[in-house]
Structure 1
Amino acid sequence: MTNKDKTYELIVKRLTNEISEEENALLDEQFAQKKFSKSKFEKLSVYWRMFFPKPVKHSIIEKTEKKLGFTYQAGAKTNSWNWLKIAASILLIVSVGYSLYTFVKPNDQLVLNEYCCENGEQKEIVLSDGTSIWLNSESRIIASEPFLGNTREVILYGEAYFEVAHNPEKPFIVKTSNLQTKVLGTKFNITSSGPHIPQEISLYEGSVELTADNASHNKVIMHPGETAIFSPDNGEIAVTRKDLGKPAQWRDGILHFDNEDLFSITRKLERKYNTKIFVTDPAVGRLRYTAEFQHESVDSIMRILCEAKEFHYENASGGIIIKAKN
């Protein structure tokens, strides 16, 4: 086993909560010696918690290996054997069902790319297949390029607008927490901010197939002009028709709400204005609004919202607190 492989093994053990104190100290030492970037590990941890919010037993890696058809002969100690173990673990971490062929074919120059936006930043990226993606503030995309096999798969954390290059032979799949969005070539927007927060998918062109928890019985086909809300609490997908306006208006600094509840609105305000907003009363959070803002400050928006439907808000050191009006 090479030193690099050993580092990967320690990372997998820490992520799966199966690392000993000695191994834990060794990994920290490798971070200190810059044998592996601590910041990269922290980003990796974010994605791990996103897809596996609860501790995962090491046996899940073995199950992944069997599913991929990895076979080992008793007593094998070659670097190839160890590399397959590491490949299976990394596959599990990034959660993008690539085949064994993808990992081991030497001439493919496969690269795992991470595209990210910091607070207040927006960015357009173009993937190797020609798909254009606009990332919103505090959002990330992971893509293994070039796309090999029968699908084009990426992972999203945050919000992004996609204009997918049409390829009927190779569907484009966006993986978010407990949800898979599958398209051939279309324009749509996804908001996915964590495993416990509802996800929103708005479709502007083409069609989209949503599958919750990888269960074929919980599958929904979307059509243009529809918005789907995926609830992580019950795994249900609710689809409604609404005025979507111009595709991904947030790219132009516009906040567009069409019969949207205050819980959803505050999440969008948090991203745009880089602040925290706490809704202390569930009844207030369910208040619905139809509105559009562009140049207003967050304080101006809060004043307008609380005048339209009665609630109270106050600015605090940690952000904005929204309460029911006494």
Structure 2
Amino acid sequence: MENFEDIVKLVTGNLPREEKKKVIEEINAQKRDKEIFKKVKISWAFLSSTKKMNDYEIENAFLKIQNKITGKKRRLYPILNPVFKYAAIIVFLISLTTIYYTNKQQFNRTDNPKELLYTSFITENGQRSKVVLPDSSIVWLNSGTTLSYPSNFSEQNREVSLNGQAFFQVYHKENNPFSVQANDLIVKVLGTKFDVDAYPENDKIAVVLESGKVELAHENIESFSYTMQPGEKAMFNIADKALTLNFADPTIYSSWKDGKLIFRNESMKNVVEKLKRWYNVDIEVANEEVYGSIFSGTIQNESYEEIFRYIEIVCDVDCKLIHNYEEEAKPEIIISKK
């Protein structure tokens, strides 16, 4: 098809009705046009759902994608009608099974040995879930996460332990603080909303505060203390016990609890780790050059096949998809630099 803009107009909903049939017939008649149409459709789906980008950023990103698809430098014509600027977003409701179990653990005391029951909630990779604690606090668990609390949770200080990532909406109780232990880092709160990212395979723990106040402490370092303000992101290095602070958009950082992953100029290394858990797939990076790529996009209800085809387009990489149909076998994606 000589007129590339017709494909763009068709995808963005700006092609007159009387011209649609002709353009669709031309696309179906040419294998190359079918491939271009598919790439443009995938790219526009991502960009149109990326609400945090302004119109200029969306059009500029779309122009870059056009250039990569066609191999030609072109100017983006004003064909994007504001009415169709953003595609309608279908709310993706995730129905998940949370694995629940009770684990007995013995705590030996010299005066009176006491047995505590521990309640744990587990989400496997590819799952997310919502948990209501005995004190009415609400916790959203991301993929590959375990949350545990003791049977005396409501009787004494409200303490939970976390491996993975969770968003907390803590119920306020005067003189009864709530605390989250992740590795040796302790997050103490009275009532607030915050996200803790503490996957055991990572060398850092991230805490992002949406509202209220939280105090960061360390189990073994008495002098370690910092009180966070809303909008702050704290990165705790487990090895050297160092704390790094900056600002982040909490709504973007914790979007996973609403069934979305939002990436803004994020390194491919972080993207790969998040997608592994999100889709429960195995990802192999064939060469280190892949990690030099930067990715932006919003993932909501796309399949992993669609995601990696889009990554191919915008990041100049090849993604080889291997579908494993054996029971309990994960799909595998091999990413290499073009």
TM over 0.5: yes
**Shift in alpha-carbon separation, 1:258–1:213, aligned structure 2, 3 A:** farther
Q: Identity, % of aligned pairs?
A: 30
Instruction: Find the counterpart in structure 2 of residue 258 from structure 1.
Output: 264
For the structure 1 residues 298 and 203, does the alpha-carbon distance in structure 2 shift closer, same or farther, using more than 3 Å as the test? same
Change (3 A) 1:286 1:189: farther
State whether residues 163 and 182 of structure 2, in contact with CA within 8 Å, keep that contact through their aligned partners in structure 1: yes
Q: Tell me the C-alpha RMSD between the 2 structures.
A: 3.4
Please give the residue correspondences for 1:219-298 in structure 2 after superposition, counting only pairs within 5 Å.
219-245=225-251, 248-282=254-288, 284-285=290-291, 287-298=293-304
- SS for the counterpart of 1:265 is helix
Of 164, 168, 171 in structure 1, the residue corresponding to residue 177 of structure 2 is 171
Q: Distance in 1 between matches of 2:180 and 2:112?
A: 19
Q: Is the 8 A contact 1:277 1:321 kept in 2?
A: yes
- C-alpha contact (below 8 Å) 2:142/2:164 kept by paired residues: yes
Q: Distance in 2 between matches of 1:195 and 1:296?
A: 26
Which of structures 1 and 2 has the larger relative contact order (alpha carbons within 8 angstroms, sep 6+)?
Answer: 2
User: C-alpha distance in 1, partners of 2:152/2:285?
Assistant: 43
Listed as ranges, the matches of 1:188-203 within 5 Å are 188-203=194-209
Residue matched to 2:11: none
Shift in Å at residue 275 of structure 1? 0.7
Cα–Cα, structure 1 residues 112 and 321, in superposed 2: closer, same or farther, change >3 Å?
same
Q: Contact 1:218–1:236 (CA<8 Å) still a contact in 2?
A: no
Q: Measured at CA, do residues 128 and 189 of structure 1 come closer, stay the same or move farther in structure 2, by a change above 3 Å? A: same
C-alpha separation in 2, matches of 1:126 and 1:102: 32
Q: Which amino acid aligns with 1:179?
A: L
8 Å CA contact 2:233, 2:245 repeated in 1: yes
| Cα deviation 1:181-210 (Å, max 9, x = unaligned) | 221111112222215443332221112222
**Shift of residue 312 of structure 1?**
3.5
Amino acid at match of 1:173: S
Distance 2:165 2:130 in 1: 12
2:117 is aligned to 111
Give distance in 2, aligned partners of 1:294 and 1:147.
35
Structure 1 unaligned regions, length at least 5: 1-39, 45-82, 89-98
Please say if residues 114 and 140 of structure 1, whose CA atoms lie closer than 8 Å, have aligned partners that are also in contact. yes
Higher strand content, 1 or 2:
2
Q: Which has the higher mean CA deviation after the structures are superposed, 131-140 or 192-201?
A: 192-201
Which residue in the other structure is 2:144 paired with? 138
- The residue correspondences of 1:58-207 to structure 2 (distance < 5 A) are 86-88=106-108, 104=114, 111-147=117-153, 151-207=157-213
Task: List gaps (5 residues or longer) in structure 2.
Answer: 1-100, 325-330
For the structure 1 residues 261 and 212, does the alpha-carbon distance in structure 2 shift closer, same or farther, using more than 3 Å as the test? farther
> What's the counterpart of residue 311 of structure 1?
317
Change (3 A) 1:157 1:319: same
SS across alignment from 1:245: helix
Name the counterpart of 1:302.
308
Residue identity matched to 1:278: E
Q: How far is the alpha carbon of 1:160 from its aligned partner?
A: 1.4
Alpha carbons 2:135, 2:154 under 8 Å: kept: no
Relative to structure 1, is the Cα distance of residues 167 and 322 closer, same or farther in structure 2, using a 3 angstrom cutoff?
same
* Equivalent pairs, count: 232
8 Å CA contact retained: 1:257, 1:292: yes
The residue identity in structure 1 corresponding to 2:195 is: N
Question: How far apart, CA to CA, are the structure 2 residues paired with 1:297 and 1:130?
Answer: 34
Separation in 1, partners of 2:311, 2:211: 31
After superposition, what is the alpha-carbon deviation per residue over 1:131-178, rounded to whole angstroms, capped at 9, x for unaligned?
Answer: 111222332111013326762211111221110111241221111123
Does 2:327 match 1:321? Answer: no
CA distance in 2, matches of 1:246, 1:234: 28
